[in-house]
Copies of this chain bind each other. A is one copy, B any other.
Amino acid sequence: MTPAELAERLRLVVITDRELARPRRVEDVAAEAVLAGARAVQLRNKGDGARELLQVGRTLRALTSAAGALLFVNDRLDVALAIEADGVHLGPDDLPVGPARRVVPEGFLIGCSADEADVAAGLVRQGADYVGCGSVYATTTKADAGRVIGLEGLERVAREVRVPVVGIGGITPARAAEVALTGASGVAVVGAVMGAADVSEAVRTLLAPWR
């Protein structure tokens, strides 16, 4: 997959969250999001063991494959390999990209987190296929989300690296348009889709600025 093709799939990355999805199952919310046009899903059910992630991940694999959407797993590269996900997303406490790259098959996608341009560039040199960049806005979804870099911070990273850069952190449907102006390839959201009253509407609004 070329960076341009990958960028096109990463317009919207729907990250799962069991708590925010309640009383719905994350699989059902993800299914609705994919039907509404999301072309990337990231499995990140905090606190779940590998066996539980495997079970949810297999359902997500089936529905993303059927829709031509990408599936990533947060942190757990082993679960990603076991369910034949398209890739893994690795944060600062997870495996570094280099050691991860050495144990995955050709073409397996690795995304990394960075909040600064030079860090992002370093991760790309080490083999990252895309960069998740934030927090763009203040957020309460992820306790370890780190500092707020704003639209300007996202723009700096997007300008620096040649792989797709996806904004993350506090992004809502109402904010999608201004995020799209930074040069980022797309947005990754947790609450904006998992917690949405109308999932399809949220997905369409988040995707609209890139259409």
Look across to chain B and name the residue whose beta carbon is closest to the beta carbon of A94.
B50
Tell me the complex Cα distance, A135–B93, Å: 32
Q: How close is A120's CB to chain B, nearest CB, in angstroms?
A: 18
Chain A residues numbered 25-79 whose CB sits less than 8 Å from any CB in chain B: 49-52, 54, 75-79
Q: How close is A59's CB to chain B, nearest CB, in angstroms?
A: 14
Which of A12-20, A97-105, A168-176 contacts its partner? A97-105
Look across to chain B and name the residue whose beta carbon is closest to the beta carbon of A53.
B95
Chain B residues near A75 (CB-CB < 8 A): 49-50
Tell me the complex Cα distance, A79–B81, Å: 13
Kindly state whether residue A1 has any CB partner on chain B within 8 Å: no
Look across to chain B and name the residue whose beta carbon is closest to the beta carbon of A80.
B78
Chain B residues near A78 (CB-CB < 8 A): 76-78, 81, 95, 100, 103
Copies of this protein chain in the complex: 2
Question: Quick one: CB contact mask for A93-136 with B, threshold 8 Å, 1 for yes?
Answer: 11110011011000000000000000000000000000000000
Q: How close is A82's CB to chain B, nearest CB, in angstroms?
A: 4
Residue among A77, A79, A102 with max Cβ neighbours from chain B (10 Å): A77
Q: How close is A64's CB to chain B, nearest CB, in angstroms?
A: 18
Kindly state whether residue A23 has any CB partner on chain B within 8 Å: no
Q: How close is A162's CB to chain B, nearest CB, in angstroms?
A: 25
Q: Are A49 and B100 in contact (CB under 8 A)?
A: no
Please tell me which one of the listed residues B49, B92, B103 contacts residue A94 in the complex, with CB atoms under 8 A apart: B49
Q: Are A82 and B54 in contact (CB under 8 A)?
A: no
Q: How close is A9's CB to chain B, nearest CB, in angstroms?
A: 24
Tell me the complex Cα distance, A94–B78, Å: 10
Q: A residues touching B (Cβ–Cβ < 8 Å)?
A: 49-52, 54, 75-79, 81-83, 92-96, 99-100, 102-103
Interchain Cβ contacts under 8 Å between A and B, 10 examples: A49-B94, A50-B75, A50-B94, A51-B96, A54-B95, A76-B78, A78-B95, A78-B100, A81-B103, A82-B95
